Structure 1
Protein backbone atom coordinates (compact mmCIF):
# COMPACT_ATOMS: atom_id res chain seq x y z
CA UNK A 1 0.00 0.00 0.00
CA UNK A 2 1.25 3.48 -0.85
CA UNK A 3 0.00 4.84 2.43
CA UNK A 4 1.32 2.04 4.69
CA UNK A 5 4.11 4.09 6.27
CA UNK A 6 2.30 7.40 6.58
CA UNK A 7 0.87 7.74 10.07
CA UNK A 8 -2.90 7.94 10.24
CA UNK A 9 -4.89 10.42 12.33
CA UNK A 10 -8.21 8.82 13.26
CA UNK A 11 -9.70 12.12 14.43
CA UNK A 12 -8.90 13.99 11.22
CA UNK A 13 -9.94 10.98 9.14
CA UNK A 14 -13.31 10.85 10.89
CA UNK A 15 -13.90 14.56 10.31
CA UNK A 16 -12.93 14.29 6.65
CA UNK A 17 -15.19 11.25 6.22
CA UNK A 18 -18.12 13.12 7.78
CA UNK A 19 -17.50 16.12 5.53
CA UNK A 20 -17.38 13.86 2.46
CA UNK A 21 -20.62 12.20 3.55
CA UNK A 22 -22.35 15.57 3.90
CA UNK A 23 -21.14 16.64 0.45
CA UNK A 24 -22.38 13.37 -1.04
CA UNK A 25 -25.74 13.80 0.69
CA UNK A 26 -25.98 17.30 -0.78
CA UNK A 27 -25.37 15.95 -4.27
CA UNK A 28 -27.92 13.15 -3.94
CA UNK A 29 -30.46 15.43 -2.26
CA UNK A 30 -30.14 18.00 -5.03
CA UNK A 31 -30.75 15.40 -7.74
CA UNK A 32 -33.70 13.82 -5.89
CA UNK A 33 -35.28 17.22 -5.24
CA UNK A 34 -35.07 18.20 -8.88
CA UNK A 35 -36.51 14.86 -9.99
CA UNK A 36 -39.45 15.18 -7.61
CA UNK A 37 -40.18 18.86 -8.29
CA UNK A 38 -39.68 19.04 -12.04
CA UNK A 39 -42.15 17.15 -14.23
CA UNK A 40 -39.37 15.87 -16.48
CA UNK A 41 -36.89 13.98 -14.30
CA UNK A 42 -34.55 13.74 -17.26
CA UNK A 43 -33.21 17.21 -16.40
CA UNK A 44 -31.92 16.01 -13.04
CA UNK A 45 -30.27 13.02 -14.67
CA UNK A 46 -28.57 15.32 -17.20
CA UNK A 47 -27.33 17.60 -14.37
CA UNK A 48 -25.96 14.61 -12.44
CA UNK A 49 -24.27 13.05 -15.48
CA UNK A 50 -22.70 16.32 -16.63
CA UNK A 51 -21.50 17.15 -13.09
CA UNK A 52 -19.90 13.74 -12.72
CA UNK A 53 -18.39 14.08 -16.19
CA UNK A 54 -16.85 17.47 -15.38
CA UNK A 55 -15.51 16.18 -12.06
CA UNK A 56 -14.02 13.17 -13.87
CA UNK A 57 -12.32 15.45 -16.39
CA UNK A 58 -10.89 17.60 -13.57
CA UNK A 59 -9.51 14.50 -11.88
CA UNK A 60 -8.20 12.92 -15.08
CA UNK A 61 -6.35 16.05 -16.28
CA UNK A 62 -5.41 17.48 -12.86
CA UNK A 63 -1.65 17.10 -13.33
CA UNK A 64 -1.61 18.67 -16.80
CA UNK A 65 -3.86 21.58 -15.81
CA UNK A 66 -1.97 22.38 -12.59
CA UNK A 67 1.45 22.21 -14.24
CA UNK A 68 0.30 24.53 -17.01
CA UNK A 69 -1.30 26.95 -14.55
CA UNK A 70 1.92 27.15 -12.52
CA UNK A 71 4.14 27.39 -15.63
CA UNK A 72 5.95 24.28 -14.46
CA UNK A 73 8.02 21.75 -16.36
CA UNK A 74 9.02 18.20 -15.55
CA UNK A 75 12.69 17.80 -14.68
CA UNK A 76 14.94 14.74 -14.93
CA UNK A 77 17.35 13.45 -12.28
CA UNK A 78 20.19 14.92 -14.35
CA UNK A 79 18.58 18.37 -14.30
CA UNK A 80 17.71 18.36 -10.57
CA UNK A 81 19.76 15.64 -8.84
CA UNK A 82 19.33 16.93 -5.27
CA UNK A 83 15.56 17.33 -5.62
CA UNK A 84 15.20 13.86 -7.13
CA UNK A 85 17.47 12.42 -4.46
CA UNK A 86 15.27 13.80 -1.68
CA UNK A 87 12.10 12.44 -3.27
CA UNK A 88 13.77 9.06 -3.86
CA UNK A 89 14.65 8.79 -0.16
CA UNK A 90 11.21 9.91 1.03
CA UNK A 91 9.39 7.54 -1.33
CA UNK A 92 11.51 4.64 -0.09
CA UNK A 93 10.78 5.68 3.48
CA UNK A 94 7.05 5.93 2.76
CA UNK A 95 6.96 2.76 0.65
CA UNK A 96 5.21 4.48 -2.26
CA UNK A 97 5.84 4.84 -6.01
CA UNK A 98 7.93 7.83 -7.01
CA UNK A 99 5.94 10.63 -8.65
CA UNK A 100 7.20 12.79 -11.47
CA UNK A 101 9.14 15.85 -10.39
CA UNK A 102 8.48 19.37 -11.64
CA UNK A 103 9.94 22.85 -11.20
CA UNK A 104 8.02 26.09 -11.66
CA UNK A 105 10.01 29.19 -12.53
CA UNK A 106 8.23 31.44 -10.05
CA UNK A 107 9.85 33.64 -7.40
CA UNK A 108 7.09 32.95 -4.86
CA UNK A 109 8.24 30.08 -2.59
CA UNK A 110 5.74 27.22 -2.78
CA UNK A 111 5.17 23.57 -3.63
CA UNK A 112 2.24 21.42 -4.67
CA UNK A 113 1.33 17.86 -5.59
CA UNK A 114 -1.35 16.74 -8.00
CA UNK A 115 -2.30 13.84 -10.27
CA UNK A 116 -5.13 11.35 -10.58
CA UNK A 117 -3.26 8.52 -8.81
CA UNK A 118 0.10 7.84 -7.13
CA UNK A 119 1.32 6.39 -10.45
CA UNK A 120 0.32 9.55 -12.36
CA UNK A 121 1.26 12.09 -9.70
CA UNK A 122 3.66 14.99 -9.93
CA UNK A 123 5.33 16.89 -7.10
CA UNK A 124 6.33 20.40 -8.11
CA UNK A 125 8.40 23.07 -6.38
CA UNK A 126 9.04 26.67 -7.38
CA UNK A 127 12.50 28.11 -7.89
CA UNK A 128 11.59 30.51 -5.09
CA UNK A 129 11.29 27.71 -2.53
CA UNK A 130 14.58 26.17 -3.67
CA UNK A 131 16.31 29.46 -2.89
CA UNK A 132 14.46 30.02 0.39
CA UNK A 133 14.64 26.74 2.31
CA UNK A 134 17.56 24.67 3.55
CA UNK A 135 17.77 20.93 2.85
CA UNK A 136 15.89 19.77 5.97
CA UNK A 137 13.08 22.27 5.43
CA UNK A 138 12.71 21.34 1.77
CA UNK A 139 12.61 17.66 2.68
CA UNK A 140 9.83 18.38 5.21
CA UNK A 141 7.82 20.21 2.55
CA UNK A 142 8.28 17.36 0.07
CA UNK A 143 7.11 14.85 2.71
CA UNK A 144 3.96 16.96 3.17
CA UNK A 145 3.31 16.90 -0.59
CA UNK A 146 4.00 13.17 -0.89
CA UNK A 147 1.41 12.60 1.83
CA UNK A 148 -1.18 14.26 -0.43
CA UNK A 149 -0.19 11.85 -3.21
CA UNK A 150 -0.26 8.75 -1.01
CA UNK A 151 -3.67 9.65 0.44
CA UNK A 152 -5.12 10.42 -3.03
CA UNK A 153 -6.22 13.88 -1.95
CA UNK A 154 -6.78 15.05 -5.53
CA UNK A 155 -9.35 12.29 -6.00
CA UNK A 156 -10.97 13.12 -2.63
CA UNK A 157 -11.30 16.82 -3.43
CA UNK A 158 -12.53 16.15 -6.97
CA UNK A 159 -15.28 13.80 -5.81
CA UNK A 160 -16.21 16.28 -3.09
CA UNK A 161 -16.61 19.07 -5.64
CA UNK A 162 -19.42 17.25 -7.51
CA UNK A 163 -22.21 18.80 -5.44
CA UNK A 164 -21.03 22.33 -6.16
CA UNK A 165 -20.63 21.57 -9.86
CA UNK A 166 -24.15 20.12 -10.00
CA UNK A 167 -25.59 23.16 -8.21
CA UNK A 168 -23.94 25.53 -10.67
CA UNK A 169 -25.19 23.51 -13.64
CA UNK A 170 -28.72 23.37 -12.26
CA UNK A 171 -28.79 27.15 -11.87
CA UNK A 172 -27.67 27.59 -15.48
CA UNK A 173 -30.18 25.05 -16.78
CA UNK A 174 -32.97 26.71 -14.78
CA UNK A 175 -32.11 30.13 -16.18
CA UNK A 176 -32.02 28.94 -19.78
CA UNK A 177 -35.12 26.81 -19.27
CA UNK A 178 -36.93 29.77 -17.74
CA UNK A 179 -36.09 31.97 -20.71
CA UNK A 180 -37.36 29.32 -23.08
CA UNK A 181 -40.69 29.16 -21.24
CA UNK A 182 -41.02 32.87 -20.44
CA UNK A 183 -44.56 32.98 -21.86
CA UNK A 184 -45.67 30.28 -19.51
CA UNK A 185 -46.15 31.91 -16.11
CA UNK A 186 -46.29 28.53 -14.37
CA UNK A 187 -42.61 28.01 -15.16
CA UNK A 188 -41.56 30.98 -12.99
CA UNK A 189 -41.90 29.21 -9.60
CA UNK A 190 -39.93 26.23 -10.92
CA UNK A 191 -37.11 28.49 -12.05
CA UNK A 192 -37.09 30.41 -8.77
CA UNK A 193 -37.03 27.24 -6.70
CA UNK A 194 -34.23 25.79 -8.82
CA UNK A 195 -32.13 28.96 -8.53
CA UNK A 196 -32.66 29.30 -4.76
CA UNK A 197 -31.93 25.61 -4.11
CA UNK A 198 -28.85 25.78 -6.34
CA UNK A 199 -27.51 28.84 -4.53
CA UNK A 200 -28.01 27.23 -1.11
CA UNK A 201 -26.42 23.94 -2.17
CA UNK A 202 -23.50 25.76 -3.81
CA UNK A 203 -22.89 27.89 -0.71
CA UNK A 204 -22.99 24.91 1.65
CA UNK A 205 -20.82 22.87 -0.72
CA UNK A 206 -18.32 25.75 -0.95
CA UNK A 207 -17.94 25.93 2.83
CA UNK A 208 -17.73 22.15 3.26
CA UNK A 209 -15.08 21.92 0.55
CA UNK A 210 -13.01 24.58 2.28
CA UNK A 211 -13.38 22.72 5.58
CA UNK A 212 -12.27 19.48 3.92
CA UNK A 213 -9.31 21.26 2.34
CA UNK A 214 -8.17 22.59 5.73
CA UNK A 215 -8.44 19.11 7.27
CA UNK A 216 -6.46 17.77 4.31
CA UNK A 217 -3.61 20.24 4.95
CA UNK A 218 -3.47 19.48 8.68
CA UNK A 219 -3.40 15.76 7.92
CA UNK A 220 -0.56 16.19 5.41
CA UNK A 221 1.41 18.30 7.90
CA UNK A 222 1.02 15.59 10.51
CA UNK A 223 1.85 12.69 8.17
CA UNK A 224 4.88 14.47 6.72
CA UNK A 225 6.21 15.43 10.14
CA UNK A 226 6.01 11.85 11.42
CA UNK A 227 7.58 10.48 8.23
CA UNK A 228 10.70 12.67 8.53
CA UNK A 229 10.57 12.86 12.35
CA UNK A 230 11.42 16.55 11.93
CA UNK A 231 8.26 18.58 12.63
CA UNK A 232 10.39 21.60 13.58
CA UNK A 233 11.80 21.66 10.04
CA UNK A 234 8.30 21.81 8.54
CA UNK A 235 7.32 24.53 11.02
CA UNK A 236 10.37 26.56 10.04
CA UNK A 237 9.58 26.04 6.34
CA UNK A 238 5.98 27.21 6.76
CA UNK A 239 7.15 30.34 8.56
CA UNK A 240 9.75 31.11 5.91
CA UNK A 241 7.30 30.55 3.04
CA UNK A 242 4.66 32.74 4.67
CA UNK A 243 7.23 35.44 5.45
CA UNK A 244 8.63 35.46 1.92
CA UNK A 245 5.12 35.69 0.46
CA UNK A 246 4.68 39.00 2.31
CA UNK A 247 7.60 40.57 0.39
CA UNK A 248 7.14 38.82 -2.96
CA UNK A 249 5.96 41.14 -5.79
CA UNK A 250 2.20 40.98 -6.37
CA UNK A 251 2.86 40.04 -9.99
CA UNK A 252 4.53 36.79 -8.90
CA UNK A 253 1.92 36.13 -6.22
CA UNK A 254 -0.88 36.37 -8.75
CA UNK A 255 0.96 33.98 -11.05
CA UNK A 256 1.43 31.55 -8.18
CA UNK A 257 -2.20 31.79 -7.11
CA UNK A 258 -3.36 29.83 -10.18
CA UNK A 259 -3.08 26.57 -8.22
CA UNK A 260 -3.10 28.12 -4.76
CA UNK A 261 -5.50 25.57 -3.26
CA UNK A 262 -3.01 22.81 -4.14
CA UNK A 263 0.00 24.58 -2.67
CA UNK A 264 1.43 24.03 0.81
CA UNK A 265 0.73 27.70 1.62
CA UNK A 266 -1.84 29.86 -0.23
CA UNK A 267 -0.08 32.21 -2.64
CA UNK A 268 -2.14 35.25 -1.71
CA UNK A 269 -2.12 35.67 2.07
CA UNK A 270 -4.57 38.55 1.83
CA UNK A 271 -7.22 36.39 0.17
CA UNK A 272 -10.04 34.39 1.68
CA UNK A 273 -9.80 33.64 5.38
CA UNK A 274 -11.83 32.00 8.11
CA UNK A 275 -14.53 29.62 6.87
CA UNK A 276 -13.73 30.42 3.24
CA UNK A 277 -9.99 29.66 3.53
CA UNK A 278 -8.50 26.65 1.74
CA UNK A 279 -5.70 26.33 4.32
CA UNK A 280 -5.77 26.37 8.13
CA UNK A 281 -4.25 29.40 9.89
CA UNK A 282 -0.47 29.29 10.14
CA UNK A 283 -0.68 29.41 13.93
CA UNK A 284 -2.88 26.31 14.05
CA UNK A 285 -0.41 24.42 11.86
CA UNK A 286 2.53 25.50 14.00
CA UNK A 287 0.75 24.47 17.19
CA UNK A 288 0.07 21.00 15.79
CA UNK A 289 3.72 20.63 14.77
CA UNK A 290 4.86 21.81 18.20
CA UNK A 291 2.74 19.10 19.83
CA UNK A 292 4.27 16.49 17.52
CA UNK A 293 7.76 17.80 18.34
CA UNK A 294 7.04 17.51 22.06
CA UNK A 295 5.69 13.99 21.59
CA UNK A 296 8.74 12.87 19.60
CA UNK A 297 11.07 14.41 22.16
CA UNK A 298 9.43 12.60 25.06
CA UNK A 299 11.59 9.75 26.38
CA UNK A 300 10.20 6.24 25.86
CA UNK A 301 10.08 3.34 28.29
Structure 2
Protein backbone atom coordinates (compact mmCIF):
# COMPACT_ATOMS: atom_id res chain seq x y z
CA UNK A 1 0.00 0.00 0.00
CA UNK A 2 2.72 2.46 -1.01
CA UNK A 3 1.89 5.93 -2.21
CA UNK A 4 2.84 6.85 -5.77
CA UNK A 5 6.09 8.80 -6.03
CA UNK A 6 5.08 12.44 -5.58
CA UNK A 7 6.12 15.42 -3.53
CA UNK A 8 3.23 14.85 -1.15
CA UNK A 9 4.83 13.68 2.06
CA UNK A 10 4.43 9.95 2.73
CA UNK A 11 2.05 9.24 5.61
CA UNK A 12 2.98 5.94 7.25
CA UNK A 13 0.18 6.23 9.80
CA UNK A 14 -2.36 6.55 6.98
CA UNK A 15 -0.83 3.59 5.15
CA UNK A 16 -0.91 1.42 8.27
CA UNK A 17 -4.50 2.39 9.01
CA UNK A 18 -5.56 1.59 5.45
CA UNK A 19 -3.85 -1.80 5.59
CA UNK A 20 -5.41 -2.59 8.97
CA UNK A 21 -8.87 -1.55 7.77
CA UNK A 22 -8.61 -3.61 4.59
CA UNK A 23 -7.35 -6.61 6.56
CA UNK A 24 -10.23 -6.45 9.05
CA UNK A 25 -12.78 -5.87 6.30
CA UNK A 26 -11.28 -8.76 4.35
CA UNK A 27 -11.79 -11.09 7.30
CA UNK A 28 -15.32 -9.76 7.72
CA UNK A 29 -15.99 -10.23 3.99
CA UNK A 30 -14.83 -13.87 4.06
CA UNK A 31 -16.95 -14.59 7.13
CA UNK A 32 -19.94 -12.85 5.54
CA UNK A 33 -19.69 -14.80 2.29
CA UNK A 34 -19.21 -18.06 4.21
CA UNK A 35 -22.30 -17.34 6.32
CA UNK A 36 -24.38 -16.58 3.21
CA UNK A 37 -23.23 -19.80 1.52
CA UNK A 38 -24.22 -21.82 4.60
CA UNK A 39 -27.58 -20.07 4.88
CA UNK A 40 -28.51 -19.98 1.19
CA UNK A 41 -26.88 -23.33 0.32
CA UNK A 42 -25.68 -22.04 -3.05
CA UNK A 43 -22.09 -20.86 -3.25
CA UNK A 44 -22.38 -20.17 -6.98
CA UNK A 45 -25.17 -17.60 -6.53
CA UNK A 46 -23.42 -15.89 -3.60
CA UNK A 47 -20.02 -15.71 -5.31
CA UNK A 48 -21.45 -14.49 -8.63
CA UNK A 49 -23.53 -11.75 -6.99
CA UNK A 50 -20.77 -10.63 -4.60
CA UNK A 51 -18.08 -10.75 -7.28
CA UNK A 52 -20.23 -8.90 -9.79
CA UNK A 53 -21.05 -6.11 -7.36
CA UNK A 54 -17.40 -5.76 -6.31
CA UNK A 55 -16.25 -5.55 -9.93
CA UNK A 56 -18.96 -3.01 -10.76
CA UNK A 57 -18.07 -0.79 -7.82
CA UNK A 58 -14.33 -1.02 -8.50
CA UNK A 59 -14.49 -0.36 -12.25
CA UNK A 60 -17.38 2.09 -12.43
CA UNK A 61 -17.20 4.02 -9.12
CA UNK A 62 -16.01 7.19 -10.86
CA UNK A 63 -18.84 7.11 -13.41
CA UNK A 64 -21.43 6.35 -10.75
CA UNK A 65 -20.26 9.26 -8.58
CA UNK A 66 -20.19 11.70 -11.50
CA UNK A 67 -23.65 10.63 -12.63
CA UNK A 68 -25.11 10.99 -9.13
CA UNK A 69 -23.54 14.43 -8.68
CA UNK A 70 -24.51 15.66 -12.17
CA UNK A 71 -20.84 15.98 -13.07
CA UNK A 72 -19.10 15.83 -16.44
CA UNK A 73 -15.52 15.99 -17.65
CA UNK A 74 -14.49 19.47 -18.81
CA UNK A 75 -11.69 20.51 -21.15
CA UNK A 76 -9.10 23.25 -20.54
CA UNK A 77 -10.95 25.35 -23.12
CA UNK A 78 -14.21 25.07 -21.14
CA UNK A 79 -12.70 25.69 -17.68
CA UNK A 80 -9.24 27.27 -18.12
CA UNK A 81 -9.03 28.56 -14.53
CA UNK A 82 -9.91 25.20 -12.97
CA UNK A 83 -7.50 23.31 -15.23
CA UNK A 84 -4.81 25.90 -14.56
CA UNK A 85 -5.00 25.32 -10.81
CA UNK A 86 -4.93 21.53 -11.24
CA UNK A 87 -1.99 21.77 -13.68
CA UNK A 88 -0.02 23.92 -11.26
CA UNK A 89 -0.65 21.61 -8.30
CA UNK A 90 0.22 18.48 -10.28
CA UNK A 91 3.49 20.12 -11.32
CA UNK A 92 4.22 21.06 -7.70
CA UNK A 93 3.42 17.51 -6.53
CA UNK A 94 5.15 15.84 -9.53
CA UNK A 95 2.15 13.61 -10.17
CA UNK A 96 0.03 12.68 -13.23
CA UNK A 97 -2.92 14.93 -13.90
CA UNK A 98 -6.29 13.29 -13.19
CA UNK A 99 -9.40 13.85 -15.23
CA UNK A 100 -11.05 17.15 -14.29
CA UNK A 101 -14.82 17.34 -13.94
CA UNK A 102 -17.40 19.95 -13.04
CA UNK A 103 -20.71 19.35 -11.26
CA UNK A 104 -23.52 21.81 -11.96
CA UNK A 105 -24.62 22.01 -8.33
CA UNK A 106 -24.75 24.99 -5.99
CA UNK A 107 -23.63 22.72 -3.14
CA UNK A 108 -20.03 23.91 -2.56
CA UNK A 109 -17.87 20.79 -2.50
CA UNK A 110 -15.24 18.69 -4.26
CA UNK A 111 -14.35 15.04 -4.40
CA UNK A 112 -11.89 12.60 -5.98
CA UNK A 113 -12.87 9.13 -7.05
CA UNK A 114 -11.46 6.30 -9.14
CA UNK A 115 -9.90 2.86 -8.93
CA UNK A 116 -6.25 3.89 -9.42
CA UNK A 117 -4.06 7.00 -9.86
CA UNK A 118 -4.27 6.50 -13.62
CA UNK A 119 -8.07 6.29 -13.58
CA UNK A 120 -9.05 9.09 -11.22
CA UNK A 121 -11.45 12.01 -11.49
CA UNK A 122 -11.26 15.20 -9.45
CA UNK A 123 -14.59 17.00 -9.51
CA UNK A 124 -15.63 20.37 -8.13
CA UNK A 125 -19.06 21.96 -8.08
CA UNK A 126 -20.01 25.27 -9.62
CA UNK A 127 -21.02 26.36 -6.11
CA UNK A 128 -17.44 25.84 -4.91
CA UNK A 129 -15.90 27.74 -7.83
CA UNK A 130 -18.27 30.65 -7.25
CA UNK A 131 -17.45 30.99 -3.55
CA UNK A 132 -13.67 30.49 -3.34
CA UNK A 133 -10.77 32.62 -4.48
CA UNK A 134 -7.79 31.09 -6.29
CA UNK A 135 -5.69 30.34 -3.20
CA UNK A 136 -8.64 28.73 -1.40
CA UNK A 137 -9.49 26.65 -4.48
CA UNK A 138 -5.86 25.60 -4.67
CA UNK A 139 -6.01 24.37 -1.07
CA UNK A 140 -9.15 22.33 -1.71
CA UNK A 141 -7.77 20.75 -4.87
CA UNK A 142 -4.46 19.97 -3.15
CA UNK A 143 -6.51 18.17 -0.50
CA UNK A 144 -8.23 16.08 -3.18
CA UNK A 145 -4.98 15.36 -5.03
CA UNK A 146 -3.47 14.17 -1.76
CA UNK A 147 -6.21 11.51 -1.62
CA UNK A 148 -5.17 10.40 -5.09
CA UNK A 149 -1.44 10.38 -4.29
CA UNK A 150 -1.92 8.33 -1.13
CA UNK A 151 -4.29 5.92 -2.94
CA UNK A 152 -6.90 6.24 -0.23
CA UNK A 153 -9.57 6.98 -2.86
CA UNK A 154 -9.23 3.42 -4.18
CA UNK A 155 -9.07 2.02 -0.65
CA UNK A 156 -12.31 3.73 0.40
CA UNK A 157 -13.97 2.56 -2.83
CA UNK A 158 -13.00 -1.06 -2.15
CA UNK A 159 -13.65 -0.85 1.59
CA UNK A 160 -17.14 0.54 1.13
CA UNK A 161 -18.13 -2.44 -1.05
CA UNK A 162 -18.88 -4.72 1.90
CA UNK A 163 -21.23 -2.15 3.42
CA UNK A 164 -22.97 -1.72 0.06
CA UNK A 165 -23.46 -5.48 -0.33
CA UNK A 166 -24.72 -5.92 3.23
CA UNK A 167 -27.02 -2.92 2.89
CA UNK A 168 -28.52 -4.29 -0.33
CA UNK A 169 -29.19 -7.65 1.31
CA UNK A 170 -30.85 -5.96 4.28
CA UNK A 171 -33.17 -4.08 1.94
CA UNK A 172 -33.86 -7.13 -0.19
CA UNK A 173 -34.84 -9.32 2.73
CA UNK A 174 -36.88 -6.55 4.33
CA UNK A 175 -38.93 -5.87 1.23
CA UNK A 176 -39.01 -9.43 -0.11
CA UNK A 177 -42.45 -10.84 -0.70
CA UNK A 178 -41.22 -14.18 0.58
CA UNK A 179 -40.49 -12.53 3.92
CA UNK A 180 -44.17 -11.82 4.29
CA UNK A 181 -45.42 -15.35 3.63
CA UNK A 182 -46.83 -16.55 6.91
CA UNK A 183 -47.35 -20.07 5.61
CA UNK A 184 -43.69 -20.67 4.77
CA UNK A 185 -42.06 -20.29 8.16
CA UNK A 186 -38.79 -21.91 7.10
CA UNK A 187 -38.28 -19.38 4.31
CA UNK A 188 -39.24 -16.49 6.59
CA UNK A 189 -36.84 -17.67 9.29
CA UNK A 190 -34.03 -18.08 6.74
CA UNK A 191 -34.50 -14.59 5.33
CA UNK A 192 -34.73 -13.13 8.83
CA UNK A 193 -31.40 -14.77 9.66
CA UNK A 194 -29.82 -13.43 6.45
CA UNK A 195 -31.11 -9.98 7.35
CA UNK A 196 -29.64 -10.19 10.87
CA UNK A 197 -26.22 -11.29 9.57
CA UNK A 198 -26.24 -8.59 6.87
CA UNK A 199 -27.22 -5.88 9.34
CA UNK A 200 -24.41 -6.90 11.70
CA UNK A 201 -21.84 -6.89 8.89
CA UNK A 202 -23.10 -3.51 7.67
CA UNK A 203 -22.76 -1.99 11.16
CA UNK A 204 -19.19 -3.27 11.63
CA UNK A 205 -18.03 -2.16 8.18
CA UNK A 206 -19.77 1.20 8.70
CA UNK A 207 -17.71 1.88 11.84
CA UNK A 208 -14.40 0.67 10.34
CA UNK A 209 -14.77 2.82 7.23
CA UNK A 210 -15.69 5.93 9.18
CA UNK A 211 -12.74 5.53 11.51
CA UNK A 212 -10.42 5.40 8.49
CA UNK A 213 -12.28 8.20 6.71
CA UNK A 214 -11.82 10.68 9.57
CA UNK A 215 -8.07 10.07 9.69
CA UNK A 216 -7.64 10.28 5.89
CA UNK A 217 -9.33 13.71 5.89
CA UNK A 218 -6.89 15.03 8.49
CA UNK A 219 -4.01 13.47 6.52
CA UNK A 220 -5.18 15.14 3.30
CA UNK A 221 -5.53 18.53 5.04
CA UNK A 222 -1.99 18.18 6.39
CA UNK A 223 -0.51 17.14 3.04
CA UNK A 224 -2.30 19.94 1.18
CA UNK A 225 -1.18 22.58 3.67
CA UNK A 226 2.45 21.43 3.46
CA UNK A 227 2.45 21.22 -0.34
CA UNK A 228 0.99 24.68 -0.90
CA UNK A 229 2.63 26.22 2.21
CA UNK A 230 -0.65 28.11 2.74
CA UNK A 231 -2.57 26.39 5.54
CA UNK A 232 -4.51 29.59 6.19
CA UNK A 233 -6.01 29.44 2.66
CA UNK A 234 -7.22 25.90 3.24
CA UNK A 235 -8.62 26.93 6.64
CA UNK A 236 -10.46 29.81 4.98
CA UNK A 237 -11.91 27.44 2.35
CA UNK A 238 -13.07 25.03 5.07
CA UNK A 239 -14.78 27.83 6.97
CA UNK A 240 -16.48 29.22 3.86
CA UNK A 241 -17.64 25.85 2.55
CA UNK A 242 -18.95 24.65 5.93
CA UNK A 243 -20.89 27.89 6.43
CA UNK A 244 -22.33 27.79 2.92
CA UNK A 245 -23.39 24.14 3.19
CA UNK A 246 -25.42 24.99 6.29
CA UNK A 247 -27.59 27.21 4.07
CA UNK A 248 -28.13 24.67 1.28
CA UNK A 249 -31.70 23.25 1.07
CA UNK A 250 -32.11 19.96 2.91
CA UNK A 251 -33.38 18.25 -0.24
CA UNK A 252 -30.11 18.93 -2.07
CA UNK A 253 -28.07 17.79 0.92
CA UNK A 254 -29.89 14.46 1.05
CA UNK A 255 -28.98 13.83 -2.60
CA UNK A 256 -25.29 14.31 -1.84
CA UNK A 257 -25.04 12.61 1.57
CA UNK A 258 -24.38 9.05 0.25
CA UNK A 259 -21.05 10.39 -1.06
CA UNK A 260 -19.96 12.14 2.15
CA UNK A 261 -16.93 9.84 2.60
CA UNK A 262 -15.53 11.19 -0.68
CA UNK A 263 -16.30 14.89 -0.17
CA UNK A 264 -13.98 17.68 0.92
CA UNK A 265 -16.43 18.42 3.72
CA UNK A 266 -19.65 16.54 4.58
CA UNK A 267 -23.01 17.63 3.18
CA UNK A 268 -24.74 18.28 6.49
CA UNK A 269 -27.20 21.06 7.20
CA UNK A 270 -27.38 23.51 10.05
CA UNK A 271 -28.37 21.91 13.32
CA UNK A 272 -27.28 18.42 12.25
CA UNK A 273 -25.76 16.52 15.14
CA UNK A 274 -23.68 13.41 14.60
CA UNK A 275 -21.77 11.42 17.15
CA UNK A 276 -18.07 11.52 16.26
CA UNK A 277 -18.17 7.74 16.04
CA UNK A 278 -20.51 7.91 13.03
CA UNK A 279 -19.04 10.88 11.16
CA UNK A 280 -17.10 10.52 7.91
CA UNK A 281 -15.09 13.66 8.71
CA UNK A 282 -13.42 15.10 11.80
CA UNK A 283 -15.08 18.19 13.24
CA UNK A 284 -14.41 21.58 11.65
CA UNK A 285 -12.75 22.71 14.88
CA UNK A 286 -10.31 19.81 14.82
CA UNK A 287 -9.39 20.44 11.20
CA UNK A 288 -8.86 24.15 11.81
CA UNK A 289 -6.77 23.45 14.93
CA UNK A 290 -4.48 21.18 12.93
CA UNK A 291 -4.06 23.80 10.20
CA UNK A 292 -3.28 26.44 12.83
CA UNK A 293 -0.52 24.24 14.22
CA UNK A 294 0.91 23.67 10.75
CA UNK A 295 0.85 27.42 10.16
CA UNK A 296 2.92 27.93 13.31
CA UNK A 297 5.38 25.23 12.23
CA UNK A 298 5.82 26.97 8.90
CA UNK A 299 6.52 30.27 10.60
CA UNK A 300 3.16 31.91 11.06
CA UNK A 301 0.21 32.79 8.79
CA UNK A 302 1.08 32.39 5.13
TM range (shorter): 0.7 to 0.9
Is the alpha carbon distance of 1:52 and 1:209 closer, same or farther for their aligned partners in structure 2, counting shifts above 3 Å?
farther
Q: Which runs of 5+ in 1 are unaligned?
A: none
> Could you tell which deviates more after superposition, 269-278 or 198-207?
269-278
Q: CA deviation at 1:158?
A: 2.3
Give the secondary structure class of the aligned counterpart of 1:61: helix
Q: State the shift of 1:252 in Å.
A: 4.3
User: What displacement does 1:221 show?
Assistant: 1.3
Partner of 1:291: 293
1:69 aligns with: 68
Deviation at 1:240, TM superposition (A): 0.8
Distance 1:133 1:39, change over 3 A: closer
| Number of corresponding residues | 295
Query: Residue deviations 1:184-235, cap 9 Å, x none?
Result: 7666665544332222111111121222222221221122112112222111
Cα distance in 2 between the residues matched to 1:132 and 1:190: 53
Seen in structure 2, the aligned counterparts of structure 1 residues 194 and 73 have a Cα distance that, compared at 3 Å, is closer
Q: Give 5+ residue unaligned stretches, structure 2.
A: none
Indicate conservation of the 8 Å contact 2:156/2:209, yes or no: yes
Instruction: Verify the 8 A CA contact 2:87 2:97 in the aligned structure 1.
Output: yes
CA drift at 1:296 = 2.1
279-288 or 186-195: which moved more? 186-195
Residues 237, 168 of structure 1: CA spacing in aligned structure 2 closer, same or farther, 3 A cutoff?
closer
In 2, Cα distance between the equivalents of 1:292 and 1:155?
A: 27
1:267 corresponds to: 267
Q: What is the TM-score with the length of structure 1 in the denominator?
A: 0.85
C-alpha spacing 1:48/1:167, structure 2 compared with 1 (3 Å): farther
CA distance in 1, matches of 2:40, 2:107: 53
**Residue correspondence of structure 1 range 83-232 to structure 2 within 5 A:** 83-168=82-167, 172=172, 190-232=190-232
Q: What is the match of residue 242 of structure 1? A: 242
SS, match of residue 161 in structure 1: helix
Quick one: distance in 1 between partners of 2:111 and 2:185?
A: 51
Counterpart contact for 1:51–1:169, Cα < 8 Å? no
Give the conservation status (yes or no) of the 8 Å contact 2:112–2:120: yes
Mapped contact 1:2–1:97 kept (Cα < 8 A): no
Q: 1:83 to 1:126 in 2, by over 3 A?
A: same
What is the match of residue 24 of structure 2? 22
| Deviation at residue 66 of structure 1 after TM alignment | 1.6
Provide the residue aligned with 2:278 in structure 1. 276
Task: Compute the displacement of 1:62 (Å).
Answer: 1.8
Q: CA deviation at 1:170?
A: 5.5
Deviations 1:247-300 (A, max 9, x none): 2344544454463332101122327542222211111111222222222228xx
Given the alignment, which residue of 3, 6, 15 partners 1:4?
6
* Shift in alpha-carbon separation, 1:47–1:219, aligned structure 2, 3 A: farther
